[in-house]
Copies of this chain bind each other. A is one copy, B any other.
């Protein structure tokens, strides 16, 4: 168990000073080629790793981006993270991933830790519980670049990368209408989260545009988990006049509906059509495969990171907060196309 080697150790070995080592390692223009080579070679030989704590303390922050997501085992979020990691790596930054399990308390805690550890920026998709954004004030006060993605804060003065959820939902519902479905139900999420509110609006818009009557009893709000989908579907089926299609704001609740319909022996897509949201991996793998809306997680992640790098590269801090909206894509599968 040896001590780690520092730039002082390298300096001593080469009869020079820490400054020179530091500069050589950073490829500073004022250092001679020969010296750079000597330093780099020795560093490799001695297995030198920079002490990020010391460097970070010195320059006031670490070359790290914090990403906060509700859960890491969702395909959408893991794609976003992969996108962020790509961009970060290209720019020599590290990514620290935090999951909140949809709890505000965890969100707060992670935020504090990230601030404590001197991250250069924070990318966040807020949790289901989060309907108040005070805890982000400190981040902004400290001038740490803050970028929201997917589930975004309602404040206007922050950077946001969003999906056009309204358009995605609209496409989904129009697709159902085009396939001859007449009474389309909707599994909605909590209204205070932009994504669910927008998906509901897209649904309503489509019905209006096609002169289909909106029926409140066909709109069911829940936590959108598998079990809720099952329960909601049961509730719909037991209606005196049940719907012939469902547009769910989540693939998970759509899956619950499919499972319930399968148990009941109701044919999907011929008796009832189903469309989900998010294009989770499993949507392609189940039977019938589930039509869903792809949100391009990877691109969202890359954009979020891109906005971060623009923020830190802008010396004049003249950038005004931007909102980038990406158009989602409807992936048509078996669950919504009648034979």
Contacts and interface: CB of A to CB of B under 8 A. Distances in A.
A53 B57 contact: yes
A72 B78 contact: yes
Given A2-B141, A72-B72, A52 B116 contact: yes
Interface stretch (A30-38, A154-162, A279-287): A279-287
A236 B180 CA distance: 42
Contacts of A118: 51-53
A53 B62 contact: yes
Interface string A165-202: 00000000000000000000000000000000000000
A118 B57 CA distance: 13
Interface string A55-97: 0110000101000000111110010011001000000001011
A49 B81 CA distance: 26
Contact of A97 (B4, B96, B115, B116): B96
A47 interface: yes
From A50, A75, A117, residue with most partner B Cβ within 10 Å: A117
Contacts of A1: 141-143
A132 interface: no
Number of copies: 2
Interface residues of A, number: 48
A255 interface: yes
Interface string A236-263: 0000000000000000000100010010
B81 A72 contact: yes
A11 interface: no
Contacts of A2: 141-142
A57 B4 CA distance: 13
A54 interface: yes
A226 interface: yes
Interface string A122-163: 000000000000000010011100000000000000000000
B62 A71 contact: no
Contact of A285 (B73, B75, B98, B286): B286
B57 A51 contact: yes
Contacts of A99: 81, 85
A20 interface: no
A22 interface: no
For the complex of A and B, the 6 pairs showing the least CB-CB separation, nearest first, are A1-B143, A73-B78, A52-B116, A53-B56, A53-B57, A97-B97
6 contacts: A1-B142, A51-B118, A73-B78, A96-B96, A96-B97, A286-B286
Given A64-B117, A285-B286, 14 more contacts: A1-B141, A2-B141, A4-B115, A49-B112, A49-B115, A49-B116, A51-B57, A52-B116, A53-B53, A53-B56, A72-B78, A94-B117, A96-B97, A259-B285
